[in-house]
């Protein structure tokens, strides 16, 4: 297995500590996700890690259908965080069919296959 390095490692280390950290460009002040070494907006190289608010909205979603003996159905979604970045995630605590575009969510650190991951739950839960 390849060892994670660079900005990806910093992001993963944050998840392991229970933190969702995003990079913010010191030049244009926009937030960035996926972790990078240059700002994709202005090409600035001065990026600072900031703790994400966790507030978000479902941008797109789909339900993956599986037999119950394989774990049952689950959703895969694109969540847009309040900071303006979008990331793939999953909404837990509700039926996959109840995950709708525009649903307000709160991001948190959970696990997928034993790996710390960004998951979401409906806001207010």
Q: What is the pLDDT of residue 50?
A: 98
Considering the domain architecture, whether residues 25 and 37 belong to the same structural domain is answered as yes
Confidence of residue 5 (pLDDT cuts 50, 70, 90): confident
**Is the full-model pTM beyond 0.85?**
yes
Domain boundary at 14, 36, 51, which? 51
Considering the domain architecture, whether residues 29 and 66 belong to the same structural domain is answered as no
Domain that holds residue 3: 1-51
Q: Distance (Å, rounded) from C-alpha 21 to C-alpha 99?
A: 25
Burial of 124 (0-12, 13-18, 19+ CB in 10 A): exposed
Q: In this predicted model, what pLDDT tens digit does every residue of 33-83 receive, in sequence order?
A: 999 999 999 999 999 999 999 999 999 999 999 999 998 999 999 999 999
Q: What is the pLDDT of residue 29?
A: 98
Considering the domain architecture, whether residues 37 and 89 belong to the same structural domain is answered as no
Q: In this predicted model, what pLDDT tens digit does every residue of 62-76 receive, in sequence order?
A: 999 999 999 899 999
Considering the domain architecture, whether residues 17 and 2 belong to the same structural domain is answered as yes
Confidence of residue 21 (pLDDT cuts 50, 70, 90): very high
Cis check: omega of the bond before 34, within 30 degrees of 0: yes
Query: CB–CB of 59/79 below 8 Å?
Result: yes
Check which CATH number belongs to the domain holding 119 and give it.
Answer: 2.40.50.840
Average pLDDT value for the chain: 95
Considering the domain architecture, whether residues 90 and 107 belong to the same structural domain is answered as yes
Considering the domain architecture, whether residues 63 and 40 belong to the same structural domain is answered as no
Considering the domain architecture, whether residues 45 and 66 belong to the same structural domain is answered as no
């Amino acid at each position: 297995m390849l060892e994670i390095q660079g900005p990806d490692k910093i992001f993963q280390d944050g998840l392991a500590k229970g933190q969702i950290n995003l990079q913010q460009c010191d030049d244009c002040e926009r937030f960035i996700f996926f972790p990078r070494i240059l700002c994709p907006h202005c090409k600035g190289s001065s990026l600072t890690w900031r703790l994400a608010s966790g507030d978000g909205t479902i941008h797109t979603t789909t339900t993956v259908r599986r037999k119950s003996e394989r774990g049952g159905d689950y959703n895969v979604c694109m969540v847009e965080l309040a900071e303006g970045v979008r990331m793939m995630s999953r909404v837990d605590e509700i039926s996959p069919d109840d995950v709708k575009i525009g649903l307000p969510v709160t991001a948190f650190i959970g696990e997928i296959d034993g790996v710390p991951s960004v998951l979401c739950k409906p806001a207010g839960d």
